[in-house]
Amino acid sequence: MSSMNSTSRVSGSSPVPTPKPVVFVVDDDISVRESLELLIRNEGWDPLLFESARDFLARSSTTAPSCLILDVHLPDLNGLDLQRQISSETSTPIIFITGFGDVPTSVKAMKAGAAEFLTKPFDDTVMIGAISSALLRSQAAVEIDSVRRQLQNRFASLSKREREVMTLVVQGLMNKQVGGDLDISEITVKAHRGRVMDKMRAATFVDLVNMANNLGMRTTSKP
């Protein structure tokens, strides 16, 4: 049975519990949905089945690692259109399936970022491999998002002055230079810097610079 790590750790972050992976299936053929449901459950993942693209779009969001098995030809909104619609909203990898595969369609899907393009009837082993790879990609994205949210929360907990100090410190300015820019004493800078390290949970200056990079702040290239 396939499995994924239940927790992850990134420098400067707490262990992040990883929810059970979810595999969405969108196909108007009930026999395909039922077959995939059994396959997905047997691998220890949670299947969520939808008959149409619009049903899928109306779903509740999830923070779990996930992927989408998507039929190209659907009655309401075809798979390629759905891919375009959700591409800017989610990083969920898409595995396309179709009973009428053609090269132009598969090329369009792959160029738009699809994880895989399989023709029905597909081999169960091939499908399991495709899902496993897609979920690993999704898990990495989920972990990055979770760590970024933690860092954003920590940064938001800083006072205005602490944020100003951190912004200058991670650019490589010495305490004396930071004090000059902010018109405060070097001792005061050191005090603010210590609180920044504590609140951001940074063990070293390198940790703080890495956190700032993750937050999209401008930093020194040589911490």
Contact criterion met (CB below 8 Å) for 93 and 134? yes
pLDDT of residue 1: 46
Mean per-residue pLDDT, 112-118: 86
Task: Reply yes or no on whether the pLDDT at 7 is more than 50.
Answer: no
Mean per-residue pLDDT, 154-165: 96
Mean per-residue pLDDT, 84-94: 82
What would you measure as the largest C-alpha separation in the chain, in angstroms? 72
**Residue 146 pLDDT grade (very low, low, confident, very high; cuts 50, 70, 90):** confident
**Residue 5 pLDDT grade (very low, low, confident, very high; cuts 50, 70, 90):** very low
CA angle (128, 45, 112) in 5-degree steps: 60
Amino acid identity at 205: F
**Residue 80 pLDDT grade (very low, low, confident, very high; cuts 50, 70, 90):** confident
